[in-house]
Homo-oligomer: A and B are copies of this chain.
Amino acid sequence: MSNTEVTKVTAEEIRSFFRKDVFAAFVGIELVEAGNGRATARLPLHDHHRNGLGIVHGGAVFTLADLAFAAACNSYGRIAVAIHCSISFIKAAQGNFLLAEAREVSAGPKIAAYSVRVTDGAGEIVSVFEGMAYRKKESWRP
């Protein structure tokens, strides 16, 4: 769990990098905070996030969890790309927003694993997401 890489990536640098994430912005996702293998993202819910049954679309929930995961695993400055994600849908979301909190399970030299919990406006768990990333040597910093 420890990550001994010397790094000076700031929260603002991470946020700035994720501002380039056009799809996340298109969906309406906000990166709340990120750093040291953790990240929190938020999705205010609107009608266009729903599916044919009127409930929040699994794709919207996944995209939110995925952004928190991406921010957490890229928080050391090295490029990390998702190789596998798994998501359990626990209950339909209530309230008018979703919150995704990603935490690091492990970060090896090549492979890192993250767990993301998605809760709704009622504070209840909507989804549990597990992501594995491949860590490249390159940095995403300009």
Contacts and interface: CB of A to CB of B under 8 A. Distances in A.
Interface string A36-64: 00000000000111111100011110110
Name, among A50, A52, A53, A140, the residue most crowded by chain B CB atoms within 10 Å (CB to CB).
Answer: A52
7 contacts: A1-B124, A24-B51, A52-B140, A58-B66, A62-B85, A86-B86, A105-B125
B60 A23 contact: yes
A51 B23 contact: yes
Interface string A82-108: 111111111100000000000001101
A11 to B, nearest CB: 16
A87 B85 contact: yes
Nearest to A28: B26
Nearest to A106: B90
Nearest to A62: B62
